[in-house]
Amino acid sequence: MAMKPWLRAEWKQAGYGTQMGSSAVVPPPSPALLRLYHITSAEYGLSNIGLKRLKVARFSALNDPFELLAADCKDSSIRSAAESYKKNYDLKHGLLCFSVNWSNPLLWSHYAVKHTGICLGFDVPRNVVTKVIYEGKRRRGITLDGTSPDGLSDMVKELLIKTKFEHWAYEAEHRMILNLKKMNEEGSLHFKDFESDLDLSEVILGPLCPISLPRIRELVRSRFSDDVRVYKTRPAYGGYVVVPDEKSVDW
């Protein structure tokens, strides 16, 4: 058995949850960094690894129509200001979406094509990501700011960027907001390279990923150092979580 269960105490001390998927496989990052996970299809995962980049998402294309619209918009003036802000912000900014943990099976079902995809674990400076907050009701009491062109204060805009409906809480999302002008552009798409603020540390295959572990390891080792851990997952035997497959962990 290649698991190292004593590492769980290190992850817990670093502030991660007790259900942390990687906690018996790899050590946690340094305190200045946050280990975050991006789950995607096998096809896109291979492309991300090979090209050392992630596609930047656009707010207008996310699967939640309430993105940037967490304000109570019953008042037509607030609604108009919020919709205008979303439209203009989307033109200039994109984002990368991460989870702080990969063990929730809903993540693999929704973002990894029914558990057939790949999860990429990155070490990211804590000061470059925003932690999403989840609420049951739309934000009330928002008033228009006469000093701002779109009528919304900077404080309100920050709230809109990071607030989502509470039923999305299973994602435990952190997001990296990016200026599209600073990203690599290909047609209508934008990409962020793997750099010091997006450092690949883990490659995790879904329970039903059809790509062989040796093939993934060969690709990773041809593009990155041996420090990047590559392993497969399985459904847990005693709970509704996804866990590392002991047989696949290579130390």
Q: What angle do the packed helices 213-223 and 42-51 form, to 10 degrees?
A: 20
Q: What pLDDT shows up at residue 2?
A: 59
Q: What pLDDT shows up at residue 1?
A: 43
CA atoms within 13 A on the CB side of 154: 0
**d(Cα 35, Cα 15) in Å, to the nearest integer?**
11
CA distances from 203 to 45, 100, 217 (A): 9, 15, 9
Task: Label residue 15 exposed, middle or buried (CB < 10 Å: 0-12, 13-18, 19+).
Answer: exposed
**d(Cα 67, Cα 89) in Å, to the nearest integer?**
11
Task: Report whether 223 contacts 50 (CB < 8 A).
Answer: yes
First-residue to last-residue Cα distance in the chain: 11
Q: What pTM was computed for the model? A: 0.95
CB atoms within 10 A of CB 43: 13
**d(Cα 41, Cα 104) in Å, to the nearest integer?**
16
Q: What pLDDT shows up at residue 35?
A: 98
**Residue of 140, 139, 136, 138 whose CA lies nearest to 167:** 136
pLDDT tens digit at each of 251 positions of the chain: 457 888 999 999 999 988 899 998 999 999 999 999 999 999 999 999 999 999 999 999 999 999 999 999 999 999 999 999 999 999 999 999 999 999 999 999 999 999 999 999 999 999 999 999 999 999 998 888 877 777 899 999 999 999 999 999 999 999 999 999 999 999 999 999 999 999 999 999 999 999 999 999 999 999 998 899 999 999 999 999 999 999 999 76
**d(Cα 80, Cα 234) in Å, to the nearest integer?**
47
The Cα angle at residue 139 between residues 135 and 143, in degrees rounded to 5: 160
